[in-house]
Amino acid sequence: MSYVVAITGGIGSGKTTVADRFQALYNINIVDADIIAREVVNPGTEGLIQIEQHFGPQILLDDGHLNRAKLRECIFSEPSEKQWLNDLLHPLIRSEMQRQIALSTSEYTLLVVPLLVENKLQYLANRVLVVDVLEQTQINRTVNRDKVNHQQVKAILASQASREERLAAADDIINNDHKIMT
């Protein structure tokens, strides 16, 4: 089994950029929780089947994929629905992350988990690397990348672990307040 380094950080911190840079330089495997989270709700998966059974067929797009905008409406207006969804998806995501880590063939594996601290997943890794940026940098990057407004980004930031909580969980820190040269 390879040595697992978890990469975490708040929205817009540059986690994916850092992971991709390590992968390009050292040819190591990446296990990305965000990618897995999308895969566990693909058409035909147990995750999507249960979501449709719970929320009804209107939760699907015409092509059978998850209507993410509709799902967001459902879970943000009702905290118990968000909890139901988390209770369904988190074990599926965690199980797939563990499966991919076990299959990794590189000496090191990067486990990219945005909500590592919030979900207390540090136990999945040998080390925790926090990609750290100032809050204003997070806001600017996310507004530019996702074409959302400042209030939406601030709401996301409020739902995530604080910068201090992430830094307290870190074995290593990358300050990513500047543009990474590729």
Known binding-site residues for ATP equal 12-17
Tokens of 104: 């990794």
| CB-based contact 11:145 (threshold 8 Å) | no
**H or E segment and range at residue 31:** strand 29-32
Residue 93 CB: number of other CB atoms within 10 A?
A: 25
For residues 13 and 123, give the distance between their C-alpha atoms in angstroms, rounded to a whole number.
22
Residue 23's φ and ψ, nearest 5 degrees, are -65, -45
Question: Is 83 in a helix, a strand, or coil?
Answer: helix
- CA 108 → CA 29, 129, 166, distances in Å? 7, 13, 22
Q: Which residues are annotated as a binding site?
A: 12-17
What is the rounded CA–CA span in Å between residue 39 and residue 157? 24
Measured between alpha carbons, how far apart are the two ends of the chain, in Å? Answer: 30
